[in-house]
Amino acid sequence: MEHLHSKTAAFHTLGCKLNFAETSTIARQLTSAGYQKVSFDEPAHVYIINTCSVTENADRECKFHVKRAMKANPDGLVVILGCYAQLKPEEISAITGVDLVLGAKEKFNILSYLDDLEKSESHGIIHSCEIDEADFFIGSYSIGDRTRAFLKVQDGCDYKCTYCTIPLARGISRSDTIESVVKNATEISQKGIKEIVLTGVNIGDYGKGEFGNKKHEHTFLDLISELDQVDGIERIRISSIEPNLLKNESIELVAKSKRFVPHFHIPLQSGSDDLLKKMKRRYMSGLYADRVAKIREVMPDSCIGVDVIVGFPGETEEKFLETYNFLNELPISYLHVFTYSERENTEAVEMEGVIPIPERKRRNKMLRILSEKKKMAFYQTQLGKTLPVLWEHENKNGLMFGFTENYVRVQKPFDINSVNEIEYLKLHKIQSDGTVSVLAAFENFLAKV
Ligand code: SF4
């Protein structure tokens, strides 16, 4: 097995787009230092797992992938980084097979630890930090294994939502400089990537800490105005933005832009103003409805996605129905539904009015059904329209898939010449798998004659 130890590295990412951007950047650091990237189930010299702390199964998922690594190569070194590593370093270092745990401050210095790292007998070595020390910004973007690239423009968060541990795992709100974001975006488009997804923790707060100080040098609007001028970028998608930080000017810029796509993902969390107060969210349902109305006014065909939490302490049946009815009446396109789960060191964990798990699950199911109804209704409005589709590289049983700018998932028979290409096609019919078939140019011509 000697060849195994000649510098091979495998990566696995849990969690959000930001984690994918950071893993991809760390992978580029290792490959430029001579490591060869291999898949996670292959024997490798080192396995790197980038973890998440939002999901309640963060620990179980982390343990599962450590086991996977140990199965692929029992002598392989295992390094854990990411949000869970920052929040629970001791707990992770005790997982059998783990050799190194790096906190938010050290994760980008991984190379400086690898050469002297040896397989540990019991506990992994920890290089963690107080989260306040992680007050600097490291730019990142994902490239290589997906059709679109995730571009990190902001990190951390200064908000204090009562159910959230992200500020504890990622630190204060801070941003990349506009120059550096533009440079990264240009680099990405020069590598042939047609779509960039702007990502961060609270990207609407962009500009804070841009040059290491607490105030805003620039705003999110400044950032997207600048990016809108960059030649060579086909599509830019805004990953998720807080409703109170989504200004009219940003919505209007997207409406006029040739690059920014008409797709907004806006966390709501609850339709009950009482619960929004308890969550310490920075808006009420009225502002949210106003943002949606503004988007629909200037971009009637845009896609609007919503994050919502069910089962938050104090969510009586009446308050849950307030959320349900609010969403049912809102002209939105789909929901991401999260079941509230207690997180240590959050205010919400001390709150009264705990909702039994089975009831949380029942409400989650109700909102997922509503989400499917909303999505199909939105897709229905797009049938018959000719829209640009960016095709992905996967061939799934002879079919390939892609997204329109307004996030309609479409399918067609696999054609290698269409991979990573943007094609204008007529949306035809909703298929049984919930994606939309398209009329090829020829069929489109026939349909016209
Ligand atoms: S805005 Fe709230 S929910 Fe989002 S990361 Fe910040 S504290 Fe967490």
Ligand 1 atom nearest to 158, measured from its CA: 6
> What's the rounded Cα separation, in Å, for the pair 113 and 167?
26
- Residue 167, ligand 1, Cβ within 6 A: yes
Closest residue CA from atom 2 of ligand 1: 161
In sequence order, what are the beta bridge partners of 423?
Answer: 389
Closest C-alpha among 198, 232, 164 to residue 21:
198
User: What pLDDT does residue 442 have?
Assistant: 52
Residue 71 DSSP code:
H
> What's the rounded Cα separation, in Å, for the pair 229 and 161?
35
Predicted confidence (pLDDT) per residue in 262-287, tens digit = 999 999 999 999 999 999 999 999 99
Predicted confidence (pLDDT) per residue in 48-73, tens digit = 999 998 766 778 899 999 999 999 99
Predicted confidence (pLDDT) per residue in 314-357, tens digit = 999 999 999 999 999 999 999 999 999 999 999 999 999 999 99
| 3-class state of residue 223 by DSSP | helix
Question: What CA–CA distances, in Å, run from 253 to 186, 298, 299, 303?
Answer: 20, 10, 11, 16
Pocket probe mutation, ligand 1, options 54, 83, 86, 166, max atoms within 8 Å of Cβ:
166
Closest residue CA from atom 8 of ligand 1: 164
What is the DSSP pairing of strand 399-404 with strand 409-413? antiparallel
| 3-class state of residue 292 by DSSP | helix
H or E element in which residue 124 lies: none
Confidence bin at 1 (pLDDT 50/70/90): very low
- Residue 169, ligand 1, Cβ within 6 A: no
| 3-class state of residue 152 by DSSP | strand
User: What pLDDT does residue 293 have?
Assistant: 98
Tokens of 54: 């939002």
> What's the rounded Cα separation, in Å, for the pair 311 and 309?
7
Residue 356 DSSP code:
P
Please name the residue that has the structure tokens 């969550």: 279
Sheet holding 140-141, edge to edge: 140-141, 148-152, 195-199, 235-238
User: What pLDDT does residue 2 have?
Assistant: 47
- Lowest-confidence region among 94-98, 122-126, 197-201, 240-244: 122-126
pLDDT at 213 over 90: no
Please answer whether residues 226 and 198 qualify as being in contact, where contact means their C-beta atoms are separated by less than 8 angstroms: no
Angle between helices 220-227 and 248-256 (to 10 degrees): 10
Which residue type occupies 219? Answer: T
Ligand 1 atom nearest to 160, measured from its CA: 7
> What's the rounded Cα separation, in Å, for the pair 443 and 449?
10
Predicted confidence (pLDDT) per residue in 218-262, tens digit = 899 999 999 999 989 999 999 999 999 999 999 999 999 999 999
Please answer whether residues 204 and 230 qualify as being in contact, where contact means their C-beta atoms are separated by less than 8 angstroms: no
Summary mean pLDDT of the chain: 93
- Residue 161, ligand 1, Cβ within 6 A: yes
Tokens of 30: 């290792």
> What's the rounded Cα separation, in Å, for the pair 17 and 14?
9
Phi, psi of 355 (to 5 degrees): -95, 130
